Amino acid sequence: MEVKTMKRLLTMLLAVVMVFSLAACGGEKANPKANFDIDFEIGDTGGLEVPFGNGETIEILCSDEVGDSTTYIFEKLSQVVGLNVVPMLVPSSTMTQKLNVLLAGGDLPDITSAGSLIQTNEYGTQGAFVAVNDYLDEMPNFNRCFGKDSPDNWVFKSLAAENKKLYVFPTYYTNRVVNHGMLYRKDIFDKHGIKMWNSPETFYQALKKLKEIYPDSYPLTSKTGAKLIQNYAVAWGGIRSYGMYYNEDEKLWKYSDTDPKTKEILDYFKKLYDEKLLDPEFLTNTQPAWTQRMTTGSSFVTYDWIGRLDMFQEQSTIPGYDLRYGNPVGPKQTLVTLDQVSLSGNCVTNNKVSDLSIKVMDFLYSDAGAEMMTLGIKGETYDIDANGEIVYLDEELSKKAKIDIMDLRSKYCMWMSGAYKRVDPRSCYFDFTEREQEAQDWVEKCGGLEPADPVVTLVGDISTRASDINNRLTKKFEEVMFKYIVGTETGDAAWEKWLKEAKKLGEDEICKIYNDRHKELGL
């Protein structure tokens, strides 16, 4: 008992010390005075009646990436819901510390950002947070996103605590369809009559042709270091590389880096390396060095974020430079399915205003809430022009060729992590350039999207054990991968040696952990 008391006192003392240390970093409570007269257009609230408050104050913890933010959008939110919604803005760099302090001290805001799922569920079962399950009848918009008729209702299994209660409000519709992929110099391909590849062999032939024409070049370059093959694994057969993947045919979790398809990828990249088709600095390339290769004609193909399509276009001084999105390389020609549900989110604190906080959360899941927090207020911050395009009314913003998330955070306090639950499809995040839109449409041109793996969450000692095994396997495979490709330890003998080492490092155990947990969750 004395040991437990001493630990409790030390925890409280640490919390006090951290509160004072964080004070200088931000986290001060903004205090806008709410005006409850709605004088602007509200979108579809999805059946949630607004306003529902009587001027009560609701405090929400948000990550502030810009500093010194206005509270404009929170004042508008307050008007709609009839509450004084006050953001507690904390620098993103100290958010984890701040959350730990608040949890330790028990002085939580009414709506808080969720920490790790394990932490959230631990405090939830102790009564710190309300269970989402207990309020479903009051949340029409949450039900629309995650209810029993939604394909994403797995959150009630995968994210629930051991008592089967859900304490986290996940963020919904968070990703584009395509965000990364193969980028290639279309102008060079067209100039020399090189056709778009549609298989590993045709990709290899395209690189060979480029090497013949430009002997001093390394046609394929990379900046992802030891993660090189991770970018290509999905299109090679649905594997993920550096971790577990779910085999849809066998309905089993397997370890990617001992899969026979991984050996095929290693053999393939060894061939590219041996024939000087792959940049020999693939393991050590810095972003500036990689950028220089792609913008000056030293390399012509890479894998990266679609934002580079226009970024490199602007940076290159080569006349006619035209970087475009291309096919995946693997035999399946498939693209990864990006998660549309974020495993992190918000929690509602169990207190006297929980009922109101729940309704605020549900509003944020509505079309109106998504519009407000990620697009703006029609007629005040934005309007729609004759072509149906979103135009921002602020003079400074209207001069920008492309408005981004940081612009809207700085100007209106929109897009604050912890304060939006859905993204409006008309928002700047989905405002694609011609090249980016071409990438979104590429799903129809290639092999489509690879099915997403089920979400299996591990808890307690099992989570720690699985993480330890995976870290050891990953560290070893990075070494194996590099030696295999550059030829110091390669071929069938090297592969068989790796398979034996993987067994010793716990491959079978981690597969069993995932498959057992999958069954336990009832997925």
pLDDT digits (tens, 9 = 90+) for 236-247: 988 888 899 999
Using the predicted structure, report yes or no on whether residue 9 has a pLDDT greater than 50: no
In terms of DSSP bridges, do strands 169-172 and 111-113 run parallel, antiparallel, or are they unpaired? unpaired
Using the predicted structure, report yes or no on whether residue 416 has a pLDDT greater than 60: yes
Q: How confident is the model at residue 34 (pLDDT cuts 50, 70, 90)?
A: low
pTM for this predicted structure: 0.88
Q: Give me the pLDDT at residue 245, please.
A: 96
Closest among 267, 291, 293, 265 to 280, alpha carbons compared: 293
Using the predicted structure, report yes or no on whether residue 18 has a pLDDT greater than 70: no
Q: Which residue has the higher pLDDT, 353 or 98?
A: 353
Using the predicted structure, report yes or no on whether residue 1 has a pLDDT greater than 80: no
Q: How confident is the model at residue 10 (pLDDT cuts 50, 70, 90)?
A: very low
Domains 2-175+341-377 and 186-334+425-523 in one fold: yes
For the chain, the structural domain boundaries read 2-175+341-377, 186-334+425-523
Q: Give me the pLDDT at residue 33, please.
A: 52
Could you please report the per-residue DSSP string of 448-486?
-BPPPPP-----HHHHHHHHHHHHHHHHHHHHHHHHHHH
Q: Give me the pLDDT at residue 249, please.
A: 93
pLDDT digits (tens, 9 = 90+) for 366-403: 999 999 999 999 999 999 999 999 999 999 999 998 89
Using the predicted structure, report yes or no on whether residue 80 has a pLDDT greater than 80: yes
Most confident of the following: 23-27, 119-123, 468-472 = 468-472
- Our CA dihedral for 440, 441, 445, 447, rounded to 10 degrees, sits at 40
Q: Give me the pLDDT at residue 17, please.
A: 37
pLDDT digits (tens, 9 = 90+) for 152-204: 999 999 999 999 999 999 999 889 999 999 999 999 999 999 999 999 999 99
pLDDT digits (tens, 9 = 90+) for 332-352: 999 999 999 988 799 999 999
Q: Give me the pLDDT at residue 5, please.
A: 39
User: What 3-state DSSP class applies to 185?
Assistant: strand
Q: How confident is the model at residue 459 (pLDDT cuts 50, 70, 90)?
A: confident
Q: Give me the pLDDT at residue 37, please.
A: 76
| For the chain, percent of residues with pLDDT exceeding 70 | 93
Closest among 177, 244, 136, 206 to 446, alpha carbons compared: 177
Most confident of the following: 21-35, 50-64, 200-214 = 200-214
Q: Give me the pLDDT at residue 14, please.
A: 38
Q: Give me the pLDDT at residue 103, please.
A: 86
Q: Give me the pLDDT at residue 2, please.
A: 40
Q: How confident is the model at residue 93 (pLDDT cuts 50, 70, 90)?
A: confident
CB 256 within 8 Å of CB 267? no
Q: How confident is the model at residue 67 (pLDDT cuts 50, 70, 90)?
A: low
Q: Give me the pLDDT at residue 343, please.
A: 80
Q: Give me the pLDDT at residue 50, please.
A: 95
How far apart, in whole angstroms, are the C-alpha atoms of residue 266 and residue 277?
14
- Summary mean pLDDT of the chain: 91
Using the predicted structure, report yes or no on whether residue 6 has a pLDDT greater than 60: no
In terms of DSSP bridges, do strands 301-305 and 382-384 run parallel, antiparallel, or are they unpaired? unpaired
Which residues, other chains included, contact 151 with Cβ-Cβ below 8 Å and sequence gap of 6+? none
pLDDT digits (tens, 9 = 90+) for 230-287: 999 999 988 888 899 999 999 999 999 999 999 999 999 999 999 999 999 999 999 9
Q: Which residue has the higher pLDDT, 22 or 148?
A: 148
Residue 241 sits at the vertex; the CA angle it makes with 442 and 281, to the nearest 5 degrees, is 85
Q: How confident is the model at residue 69 (pLDDT cuts 50, 70, 90)?
A: low
What number is the average pLDDT over the span 480-491?
94
Q: Give me the pLDDT at residue 105, please.
A: 86
How far apart, in whole angstroms, are the C-alpha atoms of residue 235 and residue 229?
11
How far apart, in whole angstroms, are the C-alpha atoms of residue 117 and residue 217?
47
Architecture of domain 186-334+425-523: 3-Layer(aba) Sandwich (3.40)
Using the predicted structure, report yes or no on whether residue 7 has a pLDDT greater than 90: no
Quickly name the fold that domain 2-175+341-377 has.
D-Maltodextrin-Binding Protein; domain 2 (3.40.190)
